[in-house]
């Protein structure tokens, strides 16, 4: 049996074809779900497909009879339980931090979305009871530790007078600064950037 997974949570859209053992046999990417799926399937028709999307975005996958919609967190924790660090676990939790921030929960052997399908909304975990525009728009945790949040903090520091090589890479535009640029210029991984952000948050609360 062939299965297709499509991830709409980032751009470009990513897709992967898996065999009955959970091994990835082909992958693809594109501007939309159909393009990414077409590159991954290469003419083969999967038996089932699953689409992970933030805020319930719907993807059209013509020709596939069974298509399941889920959150990115549910997709991530399911993958971890079946073939990753949480393999065989009855209860597990994963936290994804990148351009977006979300979580996946696995309770009693199945993904748990919560009563209102918001159990994985880790972006909105409260950190500091202050009134900030980015907290209200993005969520407290996402505003602090996502790639976009970290880039935004750097742009604030530059506006305050700090110097950074990242601004040169962004062509002198503060709005063009991204988390990926920070990692490239300073030679750090996303995990190191996030760890530093969490350390800063801890200092702010002491």
pLDDT tens digits for 172-199? 888 888 877 877 777 655 555 445 444 4
131 shares a domain with 198: yes
198 shares a domain with 175: yes
- Summarize the confidence of residues 43-61 as an average pLDDT: 80
How far apart (Å, rounded) are the C-alpha atoms in residues 26 and 58?
23
Which carries the bigger pLDDT value, residue 27 or residue 178?
A: 27
Q: What is the pLDDT of residue 108?
A: 93
pLDDT of 118 above 50: yes
Q: For the whole model, what pTM was predicted?
A: 0.73
117 shares a domain with 132: no
Nearest alpha-carbon partner for 154 in 142, 165, 138? 165
pLDDT of 164 above 50: yes
44 CB-contact burial (10 Å; exposed 0-12 / middle 13-18 / buried 19+): exposed
150 shares a domain with 112: no
Q: What is the pLDDT of residue 146?
A: 87
98 shares a domain with 41: no
β-bridge pairing 3-7 and 48-52: parallel
- Whole-angstrom CA distances from 130 to 55, 105, 160 are 25, 28, 21
95 shares a domain with 61: no
The total domain count for the chain is 3
- Summarize the confidence of residues 87-116 as an average pLDDT: 89
Q: Which of 70, 85, 111 is the last residue of a domain?
A: 70
Q: What is the pLDDT of residue 202?
A: 46
Range of the domain at 59: 3-70
Q: What is the pLDDT of residue 188?
A: 56
């Amino acid at each position: 049996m062939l299965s297709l997974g499509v991830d709409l949570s980032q751009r470009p859209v990513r897709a992967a074809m898996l065999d009955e053992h959970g091994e990835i046999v082909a992958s693809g990417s594109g501007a939309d779900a159909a393009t990414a799926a077409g590159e991954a399937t290469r003419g083969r028709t999967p038996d089932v497909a699953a689409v992970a999307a933030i805020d319930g975005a719907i993807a059209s996958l013509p020709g596939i009879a069974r298509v399941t919609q889920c959150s990115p967190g549910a997709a991530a924790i399911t993958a971890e339980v079946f073939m990753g660090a949480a393999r065989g676990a009855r209860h597990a939790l994963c936290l994804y931090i990148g351009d977006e921030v979300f979580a996946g929960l696995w309770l009693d052997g199945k993904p748990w979305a919560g009563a209102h399908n918001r159990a994985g909304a880790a972006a909105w975990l409260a950190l500091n009871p202050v009134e900030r525009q980015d907290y209200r728009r993005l969520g407290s945790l996402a505003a602090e530790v996502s790639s976009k949040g970290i880039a935004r903090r750097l742009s604030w520091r530059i506006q305050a007078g700090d110097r950074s090589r990242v601004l040169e890479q962004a062509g002198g535009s503060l709005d063009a600064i991204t988390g990926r640029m920070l990692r490239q210029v300073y030679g750090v991984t996303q995990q190191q950037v996030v760890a530093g952000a969490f350390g800063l948050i801890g200092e702010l609360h002491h």
